Structure formats: structure tokens, C-alpha cells
Structure 1
Amino acid sequence: MVGRLYVVGIGPGSPELRTVAAINAIRESDVVIGYNTYVNLISDLINGKEVIKSRMHEEVMRARLAIEKALNGHVVSLVSGGDPQVYGLASLVLELVSKEGLDLRPTIIPGVTAALAAAARLGAPLNMDFAVINLSNLLVSDEEIMMRIRAAVSGDFVIALYNPISKDVLVKAMNLISMFRGASTPVGIVRNAYRDSEFVLTTNLGSWMRYLEAVDMNTTLIIGNSRTYVYRGFMITPRGYRV
């Protein structure tokens, strides 16, 4: 008998930002699978369950194992930080199910993604149209990343940058953005949003490089558009209401 597979977004890490649906899915499951860090963030929910942790770059293995367990009758939660559709495993799971023609219908549980968590710490920088761009060049070339950066910045989108694994790629991206936007454009830097050792800083395009060493793979950067401004530390992107 086929079981059930949940692909669960657990949010940025704080228990207060988990959704009820995510909590219920994990509690219902007898098997929980995920990247070490994400599983550790839900340690209070997984007592008595079969827990399978793995390292970074083992995403395909985790997805296949979750599918196999579900097909063998288990209720499985494959956990993802943030939202599983935003650079998570939702699409990988569905690709495997579709390509192999499996009789399994995974349930995707949304979560608070990093851009939203970081933006809330900064104020309200995403209140107009914005673009989310992944700076990791593990699956996408540098050229593709820069093409997307150029399109977003030329369209005057607020830009949220995920996964600045390579500081060379980050610097190249910020230099490209600086060709279109002035040095006073607000920049927010948030590391470990809603987790221990959280770091939140508001700076600008002309000064952001001073904080390069504070950036790691758990950092989200938000670059304002032509309307974004800062008031008492809050990044604000107005929607255009008459106030």
C-alpha cells in the first residue's frame, strides 16, 4: 500500500514561524528526511520517528529515498528550509515522480522563504515588485546568473539575493547592480534570520563591501529599487499610496 509524502517547508528556523500545516505533516510522519541543519531545527518534533539526515549536495539521494519510503507505505516528511519551491526539493521530487511514472501524489507544504524573513527584519523593502535570484553557481552558470541580475535591475525590481556561496559571484553581481543604481541605494544584509546568531544590517550600494566578511551561505541580501529609502534603520519601498 502506498503511503504519503510531504515536502515540507519549515521556514527560516524559528519555531514561531513554522506553519500549522508543516507541524501537522511532520507529526503525522513516521519518517523524516532532510539536510542536517534543517532536521536539527525541528528536533522538538521528531522524537520516536525514523530520522535520516544527509549532507549538502545529496539532494537527489534524499528525494529518491523519500519517494521510496512513501511507496513502501510510510508517511514521510522531506523537510526543506524556507519554502520547498524556492530553491528547495519540491520540483526535484515532482520531476522524479513524473519521469518515472510513479503512482504517488506528493503534498507540498509551503513555508516562509528567506526573502520574506530577511525583509521582515529589515522593514518593508519588498512592498513593490521584486525578483529573487540565486547566486549559487553549482547548477547554473555565472553567465546565466548575471543575465538574470541585469534583467531584474534594468526593470527596477527590488532584488533579493540568495545563496551567496561564492563571494566572487556576489561581488560581480553587486558591481553589475551598481552600474544601474546609485551608491545611496539601500542594501539590507541578513544572516541566519530568526535563528541564533542572527545578523541584521542596513547599508547601501556604496558601502556594502565593508561587510563582505559577514556574508555566508546563510545570508540574504536585499537591494532596494529607485524608490526604496531608509528611515531609522527601516528599509521602506513605498507602493505609491498617497500619504
Structure 2
Amino acid sequence: MKRIIITLTGLLLTGAAQAQMGIRVGANAATVSAKTDDEFQHAEADSRLGYQVGVFYQQKLTKRISLVPEVQFSRQRTRLRIEESGIADGGYEANYRLRLSYLNVPVLARASFGRFYVEAGPQVGLLLAAHEKGNATYGTIAGTHEAYFNRPATDGYHKLDVGLCSGAGVQLPAGFGLSVRSYTGLRSITDKPQNVNYYGKLRNQVVQASLSYQFSSL
């Protein structure tokens, strides 16, 4: 994974004869899809706003088709609610904000039609940090107990995320551009118990809107 990131970063920095370097910044709405085989567990998530910033280059392969690798920092936020009703002496409920920071490397194939384009391709993400903030309620024989937490949680999530991107955009005058992009994770970001007692699978889902600027051809 590290070798892939280093190699692609080197390509972005050195460029190629027919490549156009660019920068990309914008906002995202991130959530997670939750799935569990435990009938006593339930989880749901709401999207929250985050941001991303990255560098890319567009390498033309034909008149219409280009390859667009990118290295991107993405800050993703979501709110999770988890309920557990299978505990013998009481229930469990957690409501918390999850913040994830990724170094993402999408490699997209782009088809251009005049100023408009569509693009799609795979993305690999390296988790840099995770943080959880919220509260949990535990049911016991002696009654209920509520606990507040505000903690780093990087060790509770997989370091590697893999998924697919698709999007569309328009090239504006003076090198600027606007684009929207969606990302769907193909693997769970955690498949082991977290600090919040959820044993199911969580997959990233992100929608991005970005403003880009491309420099003149090298």
C-alpha cells in the first residue's frame, strides 16, 4: 500500500509531457452503510459535512479519454446510533459522532465531451486517524448507567479502505472546473468489535462536490 501511494505521488509531482497538473478542494457529505447478522443489533447513520483537498494530473490517452490519478486528504464525519437488545440483564445504546481522516488515491478513467466529462474508477484509502465522541447507555441489573466518551479510535478501524468512484464535471474558463463525485466502499471499515460494542459491518459512502484548477500543459 505504501509503495503504491509513494509511486502515484511521484507521478503526480513529476508529471508527463502531455499531462495537466491540478488542485482540487471541496466539501463532502459522508455516512456509512451498516449491516449486521445479529438480530438483536441495529445501527443507522446520518451524514455530516466534511472536506477534501488533493492534487491530480490528467494524462490524455486519446482525444476523449484521459487517465486521472489523484492524491487526496479527506476528512469525513458521520453520526451513528447503535442499539443492542440481546443483553440478558439490560440493553445498550450509543449515539456518537465518528470522524475519519483518509489519504485517498483514486485512479479514474475520464471521458470528455466538449467541456463536460464523466469519470469512474477504483479508489484506495489509507486511514490516518479516527475519533469518536458521544455517549453510551448501559443497562444492568442495578439499573442504567450512562457514559460520555471523547476518544481516539484509530485502532478500532481498518487501515485500508477500497471502493469505487464515479462522477461528472464541467471545465470552466481560465483552468477552473466544477465536479461531483460519489464513492462507495467495498469492504467494511471494521469487522471486529469497536469501543461501542457494534459487531456488524460498516462501509464508507461519500458524496463530494469540488472546485478544481488545472495549470497549463507541461
**TM-score (norm: length of structure 2):** 0.25
Which structure: greater helix fraction?
1
By percentage of residues, which structure has more strand?
Answer: 2
With normalisation by structure 1, the TM-score equals 0.23
Q: Larger Rg: 1 or 2? A: 2
